[in-house]
Structure 1
Amino acid sequence: MSNFHDLIDGYYKFRGTEWLEERERWKELAEGQSPRVMVIACSDSRVEPATIFGSRPGEIFVVRNVANLVPPFETGGGLHGVSAALEFAVTVLKVDEILVLGHGACGGVKAALSGDLKDAAPGEGGFVASWIKLLDDARAKVIAEHGKTPEGQTALEQEGVRTSLKNLMTFPFVKERVEAGTLELHGAVFAIADGKLRVLQDSGAFEPA
């Protein structure tokens, strides 16, 4: 299990191996970044996009949060971390594609499905409860069909991706580019247990990549 000292040891290893091997790459990146893909992923320590996709430094622009959620577009109140990252990726970096990456055994999705945190105070689960309210409609749909079962967990992980993709289209700068054909949206779910990536198809189904 890593602690801060382990991280520093890892840095020394990185600085003496990978950094040296990619020295020219890092020199280029010091002048700026030009990733073509944005990945919206979960904060879960088991789901690292660069590891899953074998990406090199500078190739993907990543924002991570509990349950890989995108809120709907809105301009009033609050601090908009995901919206700010999205705006930067689309309007400044001008990424070509956005991938919403869900995953199996997601704790945020589990909390949404169970409803156990709904009355929690901030600092005791309340911040998470407020955030995962974004899944309320998806949760109602899943519970009606599967209940609070393992199948329901999997279904809600997939519905969460669909919810975020739907919410992405409420952002005017995303919708405009998608309709113009200059931006593509994708969804996928990575299963930690078997390592399989299931990609959302035009049919609406998630199929193995």
Structure 2
Amino acid sequence: MTTEPKDSPAPLQRLIEGYRRFRETGWTARRERWATLSEGQEPEVMVIACSDSRVDPSQIFDVDPGEIFVVRNVAALVPPFETNPGHHGVSAALEFAVQVLNVKEVLVMGHGLCGGCKASLTQSLHGAELGQGGFVTNWISLLDDARESIAHEHGTEGRDAERAMELAAVKVSLENLKTFPFVADKLANGSLTLRGAYFAISDGILHVLDTDTGKFAPAV
């Protein structure tokens, strides 16, 4: 077990120090940009990404504040359209982005070494109680159908199987996006486009899904 040196700043203090740097180099130096954003936001792209601390969309795409509308959750998943009562966080964000902000594209970005996808593949949390992995298990059950074919072809262990699961998860979310009526309507009239991507943590390469071939290829 590792411990921080006694003179190491506490996590909150490190965040505050980062905030101070931001005030000097990110906010004060760009007052005009922030003044514009104070009037409202007009992002053209919604990015649905994983909560994993290693895959921050703003860093990966090197965008300015206000350029992308981001939702992050375990494994970058989108549930299918449902009308049952509940707290539908992803669905609410999607509705706001598409219907209110009128984004032109929705990008689902998966990533390498995804813990959620690995848990889906191995079923390591299967049967866990809420608070002990049960919430994660319920969420990643969205991948159960895709998992079956992956496990049949690649097994449930090793990077080949994990990567196949990570790529399949992006496609699952893209298909689920199409079940939302307001998304389907805008896809039909050409005012919205769905995109898929995959960021490989190990080499920093972004792969983009070709919707015609169903294959991912490095961005050029």
Correspondence for 1:145: 153
Correspondence for 1:171: 180
- Please say if 1:131 is aligned against 2:145: no
RMSD of Structure 2 on Structure 1 (CA): 1.0
Gaps of 5+ in 2: 5-9
- Deviation of 1:194 after TM superposition, in Å, equals 0.2
- Deviation of 1:78 after TM superposition, in Å, equals 2.0
Q: 1:57-105: per-residue Cα shift (whole Å, max 9, x none)?
A: 0000000000000000001032100000000000000000000000000
Q: 1:15-68: per-residue Cα shift (whole Å, max 9, x none)?
A: 112111211000110110000000000000000000000100000000000000
Distance of 2:86 and 2:45 partners within structure 1: 27
- Deviation of 1:179 after TM superposition, in Å, equals 1.1
Q: Report the AA paired with residue 184 of structure 2.
A: K
Distance of 2:188 and 2:108 partners within structure 1: 18
Q: Report the AA paired with residue 108 of structure 2.
A: V
- Please say if 1:102 is aligned against 2:110: yes
Distance of 2:59 and 2:132 partners within structure 1: 31
Q: Report the AA paired with residue 173 of structure 1.
A: F
- Please say if 1:60 is aligned against 2:68: yes
Q: 1:113-137: per-residue Cα shift (whole Å, max 9, x none)?
A: 1101110000000000000000001
TM-score when normalising by structure 1: 0.98
Which runs of structure 1 show a deviation greater than 4 angstroms over 4 or more consecutive aligned residues? none
Correspondence for 1:206: 216
Q: 1:177-196: per-residue Cα shift (whole Å, max 9, x none)?
A: 01110000000100000000
State the aligned residue count. Answer: 209
Correspondence for 1:161: 170
Q: Report the AA paired with residue 215 of structure 2.
A: A
Please tell me whether Structure 1 or Structure 2 has the larger radius of gyration of its CA atoms: 2
Distance of 1:118 and 1:85 partners within structure 2: 28
Q: Report the AA paired with residue 101 of structure 2.
A: L
